[in-house]
Amino acid sequence: MEVAHFLVKSLGRERGSELFNAFLSFPMLVFDFTVDDLQLASQMLARYSRVGIGGRDATILAMMKSKNIKAIATHDKAFKKVKWIKVVDPLD
pLDDT, position 42: 98
Find how far residue 62's CA is from the centre of its chain: 10
What pTM, to 2 d.p., does this model score? 0.81
The answer to whether the CB of 63 falls within 8 A of the CB of 44 is no
> Which regions of the chain are under pLDDT 70?
none
Domain ranges of the chain: 1-30, 32-82
pLDDT, position 7: 93
The full DSSP string for the chain is -HHHHHHHHHH-HHHHHHHHHHHHTS--------HHHHHHHHHHHHHHGGGT--HHHHHHHHHHHHTT--EEE---GGGGG-TTSEEE-TT-
pLDDT, position 3: 86
